[in-house]
């Protein structure tokens, strides 16, 4: 449905993707005002509609909270892409679209009659965002890619955990989320280039590429310094003291990221900042266990809240470890629009995590952030309206397209 305003108002995105990476990219574009039409399998819809528990709502129509997390501000139409009708409706959508998002295994769309060449023949200005697990070419391009598999294969799990023998996954599907974010970023760049050339193009990324893209300093430790980084728990590998520390009752996190901060911190807690093993950050990193022992000895006289107050008063970056219920009740989170209320057709009013971007007019005078949001759609809830907009009549056999047909070929790549 048309959006009132937003940087991408007037753009049409056809989202053929399932699971998380592609849908997350589509949601990011929808948050910016684009009209995003989600094309789903008849009968079952996006895989995440069945990923639970938790499910919420009535027993005869349960809604997966997983699906709710990545499909706000979208419309839904159910199409069987193996049928003439489904392919016909998709062609009509592609002719009008600015962007199409897909995360099929390489070759699946070609077999369905929608290769990149065929889509660009329909619409030369189309930007195609294609997301796979391991990349579109190369010796392992046809492997199925799911988040935790890639967290392991891309080395992230070797960096995460209490120690080298305790590899752990990140607590959210970070490979999917990052691939979606990189995909949305690449899509916007392609749309900008289209403004100059009038031509669309293909934007490709993968879960593998997304995770390697965020190796950051750990990557250059390997490629430049020749070190093999390993997990070491809740303390920074290159800065000390920086991490989670225990106090008398509870725990706090601190980030002493400069020598000036170190001198301030040491003076505040009676630590000799100049003793040889603590004199520079490199010294403190080499003697990390002694630093941790000394800091926790000083913190042992404090409960968490008074300690945080003391740290903040001294200008030392510090914070607590919150549970998610505490996060969503935090007044700072709510002040940033990071919790939104939407009206869901089955659940009524529900609260969702909100978009992470805000926009303001010149000179920071007026906020122009899109405030009107819609709930993640029911399967096929917008099919009839979309067909009417396209000038098409719903198929007469077996009801509407939301009720008939078989699932699309293949499984999501990510």
Q: Are 244 and 232 in contact (CB under 8 A)?
A: no
Q: Check 165, 176, 272, 382 and give the catalytic one.
A: 176
Q: Where are the alpha helices (DSSP H) in 70-215?
A: 84-96, 108-111, 116-122, 147-153, 174-197, 207-212
Q: How far apart are CA 33 and CA 374, in angstroms?
A: 11
Question: Which of 321, 316, 226, 331 minimizes the C-alpha distance to 267?
Answer: 316
Q: How far apart are CA 81 and CA 180, in angstroms?
A: 24
Residue 53: asked if its preceding bond is cis (omega within 30°), the reply is: yes
Other beta carbons less than 10 A from residue 168's beta carbon: 14
Which structure tokens are listed for 87?
């392919």
Q: Are 402 and 78 in contact (CB under 8 A)?
A: yes
Q: How far apart are CA 205 and CA 42, in angstroms?
A: 27
Question: Which of 341, 402, 329 minimizes the C-alpha distance to 375?
Answer: 341
Q: How far apart are CA 236 and CA 54, in angstroms?
A: 34
CA atoms 103, 75, 100, 189: torsion sign: negative
Q: Phi then psi for 371, rounded to 5 degrees?
A: -105, -25
Which structure tokens are listed for 108?
């699946």
Q: How far apart are CA 283 and CA 108, in angstroms?
A: 55
Other beta carbons less than 10 A from residue 333's beta carbon: 16
301 is known as an active-site residue: no
Q: How far apart are CA 75 and CA 392, in angstroms?
A: 17
Q: How far apart are CA 366 and CA 354, in angstroms?
A: 20
Question: Which of 103, 205, 229 minimizes the C-alpha distance to 155?
Answer: 229
Query: Which string of DSSP letters, residue by residue, matches 264-321?
Result: HHHHHTT--TTSGGGSSHHHHHHTHHHHHHHHHHHHTT-BHHHHHHHHHHTT--EE--
Catalytic positions = 176
């Amino acid at each position: 449905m048309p959006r009132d305003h937003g940087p991408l108002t007037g753009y049409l995105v056809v989202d053929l993707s399932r699971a998380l990476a592609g849908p997350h990219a589509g949601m990011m574009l929808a948050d910016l005002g684009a009209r995003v039409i989600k094309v789903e399998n008849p009968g079952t819809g996006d895989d995440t509609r069945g990923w639970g528990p938790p499910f919420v709502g009535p027993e005869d129509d349960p809604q997966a909270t997983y699906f709710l997390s990545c499909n706000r501000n979208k419309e839904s139409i159910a199409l069987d892409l193996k049928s003439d009708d489904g392919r016909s409706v998709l062609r009509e959508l592609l002719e009008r679209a600015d962007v199409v998002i897909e995360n099929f295994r390489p070759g699946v769309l070609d077999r369905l009659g929608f290769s990149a060449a065929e889509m660009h023949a329909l619409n030369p200005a189309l930007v195609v965002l294609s997301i796979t697990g391991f990349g579109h070419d190369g010796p392992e391009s046809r492997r199925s890619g799911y988040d935790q598999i890639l967290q392991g294969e891309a080395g992230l799990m070797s960096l995460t955990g209490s120690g080298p023998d305790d590899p752990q996954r990140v607590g959210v599907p970070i490979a999917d989320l990052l691939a979606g974010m990189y995909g949305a970023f690449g899509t916007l760049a392609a749309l900008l280039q289209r403004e100059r050339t009038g031509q669309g193009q293909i934007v490709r990324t993968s879960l593998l590429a997304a995770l390697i893209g965020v190796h950051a300093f750990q990557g250059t430790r390997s490629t430049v310094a020749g070190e093999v980084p390993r997990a070491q728990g809740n303390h920074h590998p290159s800065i000390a003291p920086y991490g989670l520390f225990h106090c008398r009752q509870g725990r706090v996190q601190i980030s002493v990221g400069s020598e000036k901060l170190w001198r301030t911190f040491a003076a505040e807690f009676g630590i000799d900042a100049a003793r040889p093993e603590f004199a520079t950050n490199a010294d403190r990193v080499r003697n990390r266990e002694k630093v941790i022992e000394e800091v926790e000895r000083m913190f042992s006289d404090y409960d968490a809240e008074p300690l945080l107050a003391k740290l903040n008063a001294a200008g030392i970056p510090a914070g607590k470890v919150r549970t998610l219920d505490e996060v969503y009740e935090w007044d700072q989170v709510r002040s940033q629009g990071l919790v939104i209320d939407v009206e869901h057709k089955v659940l009524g009013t529900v609260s969702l995590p909100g978009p992470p971007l805000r926009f303001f007019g010149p000179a920071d005078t007026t906020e122009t952030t899109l405030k009107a949001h819609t709930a993640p759609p029911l399967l096929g809830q917008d099919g009839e309206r979309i067909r009417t907009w396209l000038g098409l009549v719903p198929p007469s056999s077996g009801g509407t397209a939301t009720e008939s047909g078989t699932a699309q070929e293949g499984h999501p790549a990510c």
